[in-house]
Amino acid sequence: MKQAIYLIILIFCSLPHYASASTIQGPNKQHIQQQKNPDVLIQNVYEQAGLKGKLDYDVFKNGYNEYYNTKGRKKQLLTIIDYSKPSTEKRFFVIDLKNNLLLFHTYVTHGVNSGGVVAKHFSNIVNSRQTSLGTFLTDTTYFGGNGYSLRLNGLTKGKNDNARRRYIVVHGAPYATEDFIRRHGYLGRSWGCPALPKHLSKEIIDTIKHGSVIYARA
C-alpha cells in the first residue's frame, strides 16, 4: 500500500504545473488578460484612469490596440492625440498603462495647413505643413530651433512614415496656450508638429521619450 501511494505522489510531482491567470503577476498577467478578454481589460483601464468624459471610449480602445500591437515599445505609456476635437479643447492625453493613470491632459497644435480651429486636412508629404495621423514610436531628444524636442518615428505606412524626413517632432510653443486661445479664439498652429504648452513640454517629453507609443487620430 505504501509503495502504491509513493508511486502516485511521484507521478504527480513529475507532471508539469501550469499557473492560472490569477497567480501570475505583472506584465505577463496583463498579457494573458488581454488575450482572454481584451474588452474587459481596456474598459478597466479606461475607468480607472478617469478618462470618461474626457476621451471617447472607442478612441481609447483603438489607441490601446495600436499600443498593444506596436513592436519595439519600451514603456507602458500610451499618448493619444484626438484631432477630432477642436484646438480650443485639451486633446493630448498621456496614459500610464501600468498604473492606469492619466498623467497629462493638455492642449496640442495641428499644422497650419490642416485647418483653423478644427483640423480637417492631413498629410504625409514633405513641406505640406499638415498634421500626420497614425501610430508613432518616440525616439531621442535634441535641442533645435524650437528648443527641447522629441524625435518621432512614424509607423503607419503612407500616413506618417515620412515623419523623420518632415522633422515632425514634439516640442513646446508659446502659441500652444490658453492665453493664446483667449486672445485669438483658437490655438496657434505649427508646421505639422504636435506642439505643446511650453511650461509642460519638457516634463512630457522626458516622460514619453525613448520608446513609448503615440496614437494620433481624427
Q: For 141-196, what is each residue's pLDDT tens digit?
A: 999 999 999 999 999 999 999 999 999 999 999 999 999 999 999 999 999 999 99
What does the chain come to in residues?
218
Residues forming beta bridges with residue 137, ordered by sequence position = 153, 213
Please state the separation of Cα 154 from the chain's center in Å.
13
List of E strands, 174-212 = 195-197
CB neighbours (10 Å) of residue 98? 12
Q: What residue ranges do the domains of the chain occupy?
A: 25-217
Please identify which residue in the block is written with the cell numbers 511650461.
199
Burial class of residue 199 (count of CB atoms within 10 Å of its CB; 0-12, 13-18, 19+): exposed
Average pLDDT value for the chain: 89
Torsion of CA 70, 190, 117, 217, to 10 degrees: -10
pLDDT tens string 106-116: 999 999 999 99
pTM, 2 dp: 0.84
Q: Are 153 and 213 a contacting pair, CB within 8 Å?
A: no
Residue 64 neighbours by CB distance under 10 Å: 22
CATH topology of domain 25-217: L,D-transpeptidase catalytic domain-like (2.40.440)
